[in-house]
Structures are given as C-alpha cells and as structure tokens.
Amino acid sequence: MMIIGLTGGIASGKSTVSNMIKEVGIPVVDADIIAREVVQKGEEAYEKIVDHFGTEILSDDESIDRPKLGAIVFNNEEKRLSLNGIVHPAIRKKMLTEIKQYKQVGNKIVVLDIPLLFESKLTYMVDKIILVYVDQEIQKERLIKRDQFSDEEAKARIASQMPLVEKIELADEVIHNHGLKEETKQQLLKILNKWNCL
Ligand SMILES: CC(C)(COP(=O)(O)OP(=O)(O)OC[C@H]1O[C@@H](n2cnc3c(N)ncnc32)[C@H](O)[C@@H]1O)[C@@H](O)C(=O)NCCC(=O)NCCS
Ligand SMILES: Nc1ncnc2c1ncn2[C@@H]1O[C@H](COP(=O)(O)OP(=O)(O)OP(=O)(O)O)[C@@H](O)[C@H]1O
C-alpha cells in the first residue's frame, strides 16, 4: 500500500485538497478529526487534559472548550507542547488503526492529512509528501476570515508552526493554493497521475 502524507500549515488549504482527494475515491485519514475524537469525555487523553489544565477548560456539558484551550496553548509554547505530549500518542495510534482498516478492505492508496507532519517528526509514517502552500499573508487573511480571529490570534497560531516556506524543501511535491480552487485541483491531479494514483 502507498501512504501519501498531506501537509501544510493552518488554513493553507489541506481540507480543501483532502476533499478533492476523496472525490477521486482515495480515502483520507484526517489527524484533525482524530484529534477531536481522542479527547471526547471518557477517553484517556480527556482525563489527562483535565488533570493538567484544570476544569476551567471545560464547557458546561463537560466537553473540552476548544476555543478556551486554544487561547491558552497558542499563547504559551510550553503548554502547547504539554498538550501535544498528551494528545499526539493517541492520535498516532488511531491513525495506524484506520490505515490498517483501509488496507484490510483492499485499498492500495491512503492519504494521511497531518498538519504537523514535520513538526511532530511523523514522516516515517508516509511514502510520499504533498505540501499545500500559500504565502503567509494569504494564510493569515484566510485564517482570520474563516475563524473570525483577530490579527494577533491568527499570528500566534501561524507562529506555533514551522514556517510554510521551510516545508517546501522537505516535501516531494508542492501545491500552490493561491489561485482558484480549480487551479489547485489541476495541480493535485497532475501529481496523483504522476504517482499512478488515478
Ligand atoms: C488547541 C485545540 C483544542 C484548538 O482546537 P480548535 O478546534 O480551535 O482547532 P483545530 O483542532 O481544528 O485545529 C486547527 C488547526 O490548528 C493547528 N494546530 C492544532 N493544534 C496545534 C498544535 N498543537 N500546534 C500547532 N498547530 C496546531 C493545525 O493546523 C490545525 O489544522 C486543538 O487544536 C488541539 O487539541 N490541538 C492539539 C492536538 C493537535 O496537535 N492537533 C493537530 C493535528 S495532529
Ligand atoms: N484556493 C482558494 N481560494 C480561496 N479560498 C480558499 C482556497 N483554498 C482554501 N480556501 C479557504 O481558506 C480557508 C482555509 O482552507 P482549509 O480549511 O482547506 O485549510 P486547512 O489547511 O485545512 O486548515 P486547518 O489546518 O486550519 O484545518 C477556508 O475557508 C477555505 O475555504
């Protein structure tokens, strides 16, 4: 089985590209979705997060208040790394289970959508890497627009990741996502075609 890593930065367009990948029938394992599943109430990581950050980060229904936790960790590197230390092992485990399931039912290709593929040193999990790239100005603009963040909030989130420009040389292929979504799709199809994935 061929495992393709799809990465980028916050709001660079990974979900946009991952939807296009699903449209051509290739399954996608999404680390952001799994990251939500493993912190549901009752999961091991949930308990650890509450122990570490206190009940102040819970909503009224006792689920994790994501905006609140985000405001803490994206303004404090040490706390962000503590959260990563709690959540990432559970994410990795679940990603491996999902890959195995896709393999068992006969899939020859699977894409792993992992925003922190390089930062978390997870490149060993994948055979090839596609980077979804935009310049920092567009990244910030789209992030502010999508999540209604202030300029400061958007900057803090972008600064918590490896600069996208440094990821270019670490990837096998780069999709430039500055233009129309159709142009992004054409770049993707060209790469998938080159790798005999279509
Ligand atoms: C801090 C949390 C609660 C904020 O939740 P929120 O719903 O606002 O954001 P969401 O999870 O949808 O993430 C949005 C984007 O933020 C970026 N991001 C998320 N976590 C991190 C992190 N620890 N470090 C750097 N960037 C991150 C990614 O690009 C991601 O695609 C949440 O992101 C979290 O639990 N993060 C830790 C787990 C993690 O590293 N997830 C990233 C994928 S492995
Ligand atoms: N080519 C494009 N032109 C205009 N807007 C775009 C384009 N690509 C993506 N967007 C918009 O930019 C925002 C970020 O894109 P998307 O959600 O796909 O990024 P992401 O990398 O998955 O983000 P995150 O890491 O935060 O999950 C979205 O609102 C999306 O609709």
C-beta atoms surrounding 23 within 10 Å: 10
Residue among 40, 43, 73, 132 to mutate when testing ligand 1 (max atoms within 8 A of CB): 73
What residue numbers bound the domain in which 171 lies?
A: 2-194
Partnered with residue 2 across adjacent β-strands are 109
Q: Give the whole-angstrom CA distance, residue 153 versus residue 25.
A: 36
Q: Which residue has the tokens 């992030």?
A: 143
pLDDT for the residue 91: 98
Exposure b/e, 101-121, CB count within 10 A at least 16 = b = ebeeeeeebbbbbbbbbbeee
Write the pLDDT tens digit of every residue in 85-127. Answer: 999 999 999 999 999 999 999 999 999 999 999 999 999 999 9
- Domain total of the chain: 1
Q: Give the whole-angstrom CA distance, residue 197 versus residue 187.
A: 14
Nearest to 82 by CA among 126, 48, 44: 48
Q: Give the whole-angstrom CA distance, residue 63 versus residue 79.
A: 19
Q: Is 14 annotated as a binding residue?
A: yes
> Does 140 sit in the ligand 2 pocket, CB within 6 Å?
no
Cβ 149 vs Cβ 158: under 8 Å: no
Residue among 6, 10, 125 to mutate when testing ligand 1 (max atoms within 8 A of CB): 10
Query: Residues 131, 133, 139, CA angle at the centre, nearest 5°?
Result: 135
Per-residue pLDDT tens, the chain, 198 aa: give them: 999 999 999 999 999 999 999 999 999 999 999 999 999 999 999 999 999 999 999 999 999 999 999 999 999 999 999 999 999 999 999 999 999 999 999 999 999 999 999 999 999 999 999 999 999 999 999 999 999 999 999 999 999 999 999 999 999 999 999 999 999 999 999 999 999 999
> Does 32 sit in the ligand 2 pocket, CB within 6 Å?
yes
> Does 22 sit in the ligand 2 pocket, CB within 6 Å?
no
Q: Tell me the C-alpha to C-alpha distance, in Å, between residue 153 and each of 43, 74, 137, 139, 185.
A: 29, 8, 14, 13, 30
Q: How far is the CA of 40 from the centre of ligand 2 (A)?
A: 25
CATH code assigned at 74 = 3.40.50.300
Cβ 49 vs Cβ 83: under 8 Å: yes
Q: What is the pTM of this model?
A: 0.98
